[in-house]
Amino acid sequence: MSSQQKPKITLKVNGKSYEADIDLHRTLLEVLRDDLDSNLTGAKYGCGQGECGACTVLIDGKAVLSCLTLALAVNGREIETIEGLAENGKLHLLQEAFNSNGAIQCGFCTPGVILTAKSLLDENPDPDEEEVREYLKGNLCRCTGYVKIIEAVLTASKG
């Protein structure tokens, strides 16, 4: 396809199908935040370089960086964002744990952290502290110092 066109892509986000006509060079992050009917602004632009993790979303259950993903490259795929975690208003175990452990301050890193943590617990339901630290090293937080975040993930893993 060429830049003369604005190709239409379809994305399934949190179980709902969306269509958008986009520029070729649009990233998944931009499409989620700006180009869909429900602006899904949970994923954030942090560094644009793949180091901070604020743009993390889940594709096939795997944590990936939406700022380094061309929207065209995920045409037709299923994507999970933070907005899809709670079911019928009931918070996910991780969201509850983050609340109760004081793991959220400004909240900017939180969507990315929680999604990465979800991916960890789906792969490894009972991680130790070292494993949590290692797995989350791609999600930077400037507010909390990480202690409460780690505790929250461990709390959630205990059910």
Partner 1 sequence: MNLIFHRNLPAYDQYFLPKTTEEAVSLLAEGNKEAKILAGGTDLLVQMRNRQLVPKCIVNISSLSELSGISLNEHSVRLGALATLRDVEVSPIVKKEFPLLHEAVSQMATVQVRNMGTVVGNLCHGSPGADTPPPLLTLEADVKVVGPDGVKTISLDKFFTGPRDTVLNPNELVTEVRIPKLQPNSGTAFLRLTRVAADLAKVNVAVVLRVKNGICEDVKIALGAVAPTPIRARKAEEVLRGNMLNEKLIEKTAQTAAEDTSPITDIRSTKEYRKEVSKVLVRRAINICIKRIKKGEEG
Contact of 120 with 148, CB cutoff 8 Å: no
Whichever of 36 and 72 has its CB closer to partner 1, that residue is 72
Whole-angstrom Cα distance, residue 58 to residue 120?
Answer: 11
Contact of 53 with 113, CB cutoff 8 Å: yes
Q: How many residues bind partner 1 (CB under 8 A)?
A: 36
Judged by CB under 8 A, does residue 81 bind partner 1? no
Residue 79, H or E segment: strand 78-80
Whichever of 91 and 122 has its CB closer to partner 1, that residue is 122
Q: Least distance (Å) from partner 1 to the CB of residue 83?
A: 19
Q: Which of 23, 83, 96, 131 binds partner 1 (CB under 8 A)?
A: 23
Q: Least distance (Å) from partner 1 to the CB of residue 154?
A: 17
Distances (CA, A) of 121 to 11, 24, 64, 125: 25, 35, 16, 4
Whole-angstrom Cα distance, residue 58 to residue 72?
Answer: 16
Residue 57, H or E segment: strand 56-59
Q: Which of 16, 19, 38, 73 binds partner 1 (CB under 8 A)?
A: 73
Only one of the segments 35-43, 46-54, 88-96, 150-158 lies at the binding site for partner 1 (rule: CB under 8 A); that segment is 46-54
Can you read off the two tokens belonging to residue 23? 């520029």
Q: Which of 9, 13, 31, 63 binds partner 1 (CB under 8 A)?
A: 63
Strand pairing report for 78-80 and 62-65:
unpaired
Interface residues toward partner 1, by CB under 8 A: 1-3, 7, 23-27, 30, 45, 47-51, 53, 56, 62-65, 67-70, 72-73, 116, 119-120, 134-135, 137-139
